[in-house]
Amino acid sequence: MKKRTLDLQDRDYKVLTALEKWGVLGLGQLYGITVETGADLRSRVARYFNKADARDYGRWFAQRLTALGQAGYIADHFFLNHPKIFTLAERGHKELQLKKMALLKGFRGSISGELVAHEVHVAAVGLLLSEVFHHKVRTERERYIWTGKGGRSPAPVRAVSDLWIVEPRPKAVEVELSQKSEARYKELWEAYRLKLQHNGAVLYLTGWPDGVRCILNYARQFRAPFIYAADLEDFQTSCGRTPFAGAHDGESIVIEPATAVPEAGAAPRRVSPPSLPARPDFVGPGGRLGAEPFAAPSQPVRVGTLTPPQERRGQSVPPPASRACPRPLPLYSPSPSPEGEIGGKAQ
C-alpha cells in the first residue's frame, strides 16, 4: 500500500526532531513541545511529564499526529494502562537526513512495554532541564552505540547515565522508578568512580517511597560522596527546584538555570548549613567553590590512591575535625574522562 504524501510544516519537523532525540514521547509531551510553548511554567512542566486527557485526542494536533503516522513519518504504540506514545519511523528519519537535521545515524522505532514508564519519565526530566533551565542535555543514545549482542554491556564497563547535563557543569542524571539490588548499585558506582572527575556528581531521581533515604544510605555504605538524590515527584511539583540531598548531612545541589550562571564552568549552587564551613575538597583552583570540576589533573592519577585534600591542593589548613555524617566518605581518585566509552563506540 502506497503511503500518503504530506506537505510537512515547521511544527511537523519539530515533532520529528524531538522524537529522534528523546526516542519515546507521549501525546502530552508533544503538546508541550510543539503547541503549548507559551503556557505558564506549571502547565508546561505538567505537559513535559505527559499530562493529557481525553479531549486532547480530539484536537487538531492529535489529528495531525495521526496523519504523520499514516504517512509513515512516526509510529504510535499502545500499552495496557498507559497513554498512547510515539516513536520516529523510518520515513521520518530519512526526511531529517534529507534536510540535514538528523542528530543520530539511527532512530528508535520500538519499545518494550516494561520500559515505557521509565523512558517517558527520562524524557520528561530531560525536557524540563533543556526547555525550562536551558541546559544542554544529552541522552543515552546520543553518547553510546551498543556494539555487542543481547543488550547493554555490563555495568562496570558501561556507566552511561540516562541523561547528561553538558553545561555549565557536567552531571550524570539517573531516573530510578524502582529500587535496584545492593550489588547493582555497588557495581554501577564503582564504574562512576572511575569515570567522574573530582567534584563530579551523579543525581538520582527516585520514584518509590523512601527512595532518597535508600540511595543515600547506600552512598554512605559504599563511600560514594558523588551521589545525590531527590524525589521525582518533588522534582516535578517544584518545577525542578527541589534540592538533591548528598550523603553528607547538610549538603545538597540545586540545579540552576543555565542563563543564571555567571561564567562557563561554574557549578550549580551548593546549599550548606550556615554553621558549617565549606568542605576544603569542594574548593577549586583559585579558591572558587566547585569551579572547573572536570578539569584534567596536571599529573596522572592512579585509581585507588587517596591523597589528603590539603596536599593535593596545596592547602596548609587541615579539613574540619567534625562532620555531621554517620560514616566517613573518603575522596575518590577518578580518571580524566567524565563519560567513558569502554565497551562501545561514542556518537
Task: For residues 159 and 275, state if they share a domain.
Answer: yes
Once rounded to an integer, what is the mean pLDDT over residues 182-186?
94
Distance CA 109, CA 331 (A): 43
Tell me: do 17 and 93 sit in the same domain: yes
Q: Which of 117-131, 146-160, 176-190, 302-316 has the lowest mean pLDDT?
A: 302-316
Q: Which residue has the higher pLDDT, 114 or 10?
A: 10
In a domain, 121, yes or no: no
Give residue 323's pLDDT.
Answer: 40
**pLDDT confidence of residue 166:** 82
Residue 24 has pLDDT above 50, yes or no: yes
Number of helices (H) and strands (E), helices first, in the chain? 12, 13
For residue 292, is it within any domain? Answer: yes
Q: Tell me whether residue 32 is in a domain.
A: yes
Q: How confident is the model at residue 145 (pLDDT cuts 50, 70, 90)?
A: low
Q: How high is the pLDDT of residue 158?
A: 58
Q: Which of 256, 255, 286, 254 is nearest to 271 (CA)?
A: 254
Both 96 and 140 in one domain: the answer is no
Domain endpoint, select from 46, 81, 112? 112
Q: Is residue 347 part of a domain?
A: no
pLDDT at 20: 93
Structural domain containing residue 292: 133-299+326-340
- In this structure, are 247 and 158 located in the same domain? yes
Residue 195: the pLDDT is: 82
With respect to residue 315, please indicate whether it lies within any of the assigned structural domains.
no
Residue-wise pLDDT tens digits, 108-126: 877 788 889 999 999 999 9
Do 163 and 250 sit in the same domain of this protein? yes
Mean pLDDT of 3-25: 90
Q: Of 79, 112, 145, which closes a domain? A: 112
Task: Using alpha carbons only, give the angle 6, 17, 155 rounded to the nearest 5 degrees.
Answer: 140
Q: Are residues 108 and 137 in the same domain?
A: no
**Pair 231, 332 in one domain:** yes
User: Is 224 within the bounds of a domain?
Assistant: yes
- Of 192-196, 232-236, 305-309, highest mean pLDDT: 232-236
**297-326 per-position pLDDT tens digit:** 344 433 333 334 444 444 444 444 444 444
**Which pLDDT does position 168 carry in this prediction?**
64
pTM: 0.73
Backbone angles phi, psi at 201, to 5 degrees: -140, 145
Residue that is written with C-alpha cell 510544516 in the block: 9
Comparison of pLDDT for 282 and 56, the residue scoring more:
56
Beta-carbon contacts of residue 153 (< 8 Å; ≥ 6 apart) = 146, 343, 344
- Across the range 19-41, mean pLDDT stands at 94
Angstrom CA distances, 189 to 151, 183, 213, 334, stand at 20, 10, 17, 12
Give domain status of residue 286, yes or no: yes
Indicate the DSSP class of residue 283.
B
- Number of structural domains, the chain? 2
Share of the chain above pLDDT 90, in %: 52
Examine the domain organization and report whether 87 and 17 are in the same domain.
Answer: yes
Residues 40 and 170 in one domain: no
Q: Comparing C-alpha atoms, which of 268, 261, 174, 275 is closest to residue 218?
A: 174
Q: How confident is the model at residue 288 (pLDDT cuts 50, 70, 90)?
A: very low
Instruction: Kindly compute the dihedral angle of the four CA atoms of residues 206, 212, 214, 215, in this order, to the nearest 10 degrees.
Output: 70
Domain shared by 147 and 45, yes or no: no
Taking 60 as the threshold, does the pLDDT of residue 264 lie above it? Answer: no
Give residue 141's pLDDT. 82
In a domain, 273, yes or no: yes
What would the mean pLDDT of 269-290 be, rounded to a whole number?
A: 37
One domain, residues 195 and 146: yes
296 or 37: whose pLDDT is higher? 37
Strand order in the sheet with 137-139: 137-139, 163-165, 171-176, 202-206, 227-231, 244-246, 252-253, 270-271
Q: Is the same domain home to 174 and 284?
A: yes
pLDDT tens sequence across 41-92? 999 999 999 999 989 999 999 999 999 999 999 999 988 778 889 999 999 9
Nearest to 20 by CA among 96, 107, 100: 107
Does the pLDDT at position 245 exceed 90?
yes
Q: In CATH, what number is assigned to the domain containing residue 25?
A: 1.10.10.10
Q: Decide: helix, strand or coil at residue 266.
A: coil
